[in-house]
Amino acid sequence: MVSHLQSLQDFSKEELLGFINRAIQLKEERLAGVTHRQLAGKTVGLIFEKPSTRTRVSFESAMYGLGGQVIFLSGRDTQLARSEPLKDMARVMARYVDGIVVRTFGQEVVTELAEYSSVPVVNALTDLHHPCQILSDIMTVVEKKGNIEKLKIAWIGDGNNMANSWIQAASRIGFELILACPEGYDPDPEIMAAAQKEAVKPITVTRSPEEAVAQADVINTDVWASMGQEEEAEERLAIFQPLQINSALMAKAPANAVVLHCLPAHREEEITEEVLESEQCVAFDQAENKMHMHKAILELLIGCK
């Protein structure tokens, strides 16, 4: 049976921790000079309707690092731009490549590709979920803080695809999560309701960033206006300003809390230069870990370990 990574709900707690532990192992082995060739002779197709720097380079580096190759297709390079049915595209591409990584807008695109593809489909970002990013973020947390099940994670900002995937991770793995979001920008209500039914630790939403960071081991944020929300940028700047990660807010958090940001960061908007460049911020370790996590995902899903 083909395993797809459409959202973090596709996998059990043990499987999600398996991705994280394997990514840490692959990172250690790379630093020790171990050469990996598990995917030699394999090819992955990258379909990116939304452009990206880190996600593209980290997936391509991951595949090359495992001995495989990639074919990159932007939205305009595929028949998606000319309205070819997704099910036709999925069935044809699956006969050429060993895996499909897709970065797009609607979650339904990933769902339909997975339904008709006979090779693994990986969600590299949709407007609803960002599972690969959250797995690499949790890998970073485990490296810095140890057992994530004992930690309190704070999300400060928009209830976006990142927040939705953090919620699914909290319910499935079992850690405390508190989200500070402005009214009207809460996470997806269906994802939140499903997660709260499954969760063994609290998953809550507050309007107060000070409440969120109190006793938090990890403080996490993202840009206030994502790709496709450019027309809302000015309005969002005003609404989200009270949620900025700055030295005053960090003074309300434990001194040993670490700060995550998936990058690119808009300095002096969602996070100040001072905090981003501080020793508490691990955003660049977090960015590096995307490559190691993508290696683990490709290896474990394509099944050539």
Q: Which residues line the annotated binding site for L-ornithine? A: 161, 222, 226-227
Torsion sign across C-alpha atoms 178, 184, 187, 191: positive
Task: Enumerate the known binding-site residues for carbamoyl phosphate.
Answer: 52-55, 79, 103, 130-133, 262-263, 290
94: left (phi over 0), alpha (psi -120 to 50) or beta: alpha
Report the candidate in 271, 255, 287 with the shortest Cα–Cα distance to residue 209.
271
**Looking at residue 188, what DSSP letter applies?**
P
Residue 125: its H or E element? strand 121-125
How far apart (Å, rounded) are the C-alpha atoms in residues 151 and 166? 13
Helix (H, G, I), strand (E, B) or coil at 127: coil
Residue 88 has φ and ψ, to the nearest 5°, of -70, -45
Task: Enumerate the known binding-site residues.
Answer: 52-55, 79, 103, 130-133, 161, 222, 226-227, 262-263, 290
Helices (H), 69-216: 86-93, 107-116, 131-145, 161-169, 189-198, 209-213
